Amino acid sequence: MTLVLALMLAQAIAAQARPDSFADLAQKISPAVVNITTSTVVAQGTGPSPIVPEGSPFEDFFEQFRNRQGEGDRPRRSSALGSGFVISEDGFVVTNNHVIESADEIVIEFFSGETLPAEVIGTDPKTDIALLKVKADKPLPFVSFGDSDTARVGDWVLAMGNPLGQGFSLSAGIVSARNRALSGTYDDYIQTDAAINRGNSGGPLFNLDGEVVGVNTAILSPTGGSIGIGFSMASNVVKRVVDQLQEFGETRRGWLGVRIQDVTDDVAEAMGLEKAAGALVTDVPEGPAADAGMLAGDVILSFDGKDVADTRSLVRQVGNTEVGKAVRVLVFRDGKTTTLKITLGRREDAEAAIPVAQPGGESQEPAEKTMLGLTLSPLNDELRAQLELDSNASGLVVTDVDNLSEAYEKGLRAGDLITEAGQQKVAAISDLDDRIAEAREAGRKSLLLLVRRAGEPRFVALGIEE
């Protein structure tokens, strides 16, 4: 019993321990952190200059002023500063893509003061990561990636880099939040209050074991300086990107070949789903998913054995899966689940893929009808021409929307094309009447519509209670 109490006391003391100093850790990791200087030749006139009307008496004056300043029509060289870190003894360096983008020359400065030129191995604008390489005549000190998924809110972290061009600098803080998304498809940022400023971009965020758990990328600030809201791309994302850049010189992300949207509560109710989760397929262009039999209106519940929470999680799961891998995808369709086996393609090869138009017949009904807050008309040749639709397009055209209706609140506008209702094609107003009647008979409170605008599909659930 005494031994058990002693162990419990030791654990409690360790849990409350705080570092008296970060000096030993800083001394250990500093040699692997680098300053990055880039230079770019910029054509004359690309910078800000006074606007002077042609023929003005001031035109000659400003021309003489530019010439005295050495500008004239000659190109000038622009410099920028950033940070990075060495990940291997043979000289691979990680930084942000925006630090070295468009650079003609990249120079790496080490903590010792030594400088070496660097070449770009590969970049990934989607995660803002770049991999560089320097040639050194001796093994270089380096740091390793840690597991960012184990970082908890409240953990100590250290940011190191070259803030505001002042040279090597260390700041300490905590993990303020996890899984932040800014604007990118594959964003997974660690938010920290460790001071990050301009010039810190591309530098490492360390845990107390000296492992890199993030790459400092962005700050949120109304002033341009640190206010304690900084963002570091999580190391588990960075490591996958770096491994691919190191092996292939480019990224190779998995591609499913679907367009998707989140499952909202009203969409879940309209489809008979138990909860609002998964990714709702709005379109299936030519590609891996279409080849495997996936359909618009399917809800992807799990991918490769992992539950799908929403569209963001599915995009990341697919992107992180090996190109060419055959995966099992569980979908909800017509009130039951179906498993599809899909061999993934490569996203980079399909970035410009155009969705395949859905065929359908043409309605002969000429009349308009108002329902669900929408004034609808069957699609005809005249409307096809007005909306610039293919000759094989079919559906009901929204010609007007009641400003006080649920449909207006959910974004439907004149010119939208409704191609499906209740996951069945509609070509005539009577088709939509039938779908509404069927949904009411089934006890549903809403009806799921597939709406296309400028070729882009999305699902909208509208209430149908009488």
CA 112 to chain centre: 37
Strand (E) or helix (H) holding 177:
strand 169-180
Amino acid at 267: V
- What residues pair up with 145 in beta bridges, in sequence order? 212
**Residue among 327, 264, 325 at smallest CA distance from 299:** 264
Q: What is Dmax (Cα atoms) for the chain? A: 96
Grouping H, G, I as helix, E, B as strand and the rest as coil, residue 347 is helix
Residues with catalytic function: 98, 128, 201
Beta-bridge partners for 446: 463
Q: Integer distance in angstroms from the first to the last C-alpha of the chain?
A: 70
Closest Cα partner for 20 from 151, 195, 208?
208
For residue 367, what are its two tokens? Answer: 């009349």
Contact (CB, 8 A) for 327 and 314: no
**Exposed/middle/buried for 323, CB within 10 Å: 0-12, 13-18, 19+?**
middle
Nearest to 244 by CA among 236, 235, 253: 253
User: Residue 25 corresponds to which amino acid?
Assistant: L
Contact 176, 153 (CB under 8 A): yes
Residue 158's contacts (CB-CB under 8 Å, 6 or more residues apart) are 22, 25, 26, 29, 170, 171, 172, 194, 205, 206, 208
Between CA 235 and CA 237 the distance in angstroms is 5
Closest CA to 450 of 293, 311, 232, 267: 267
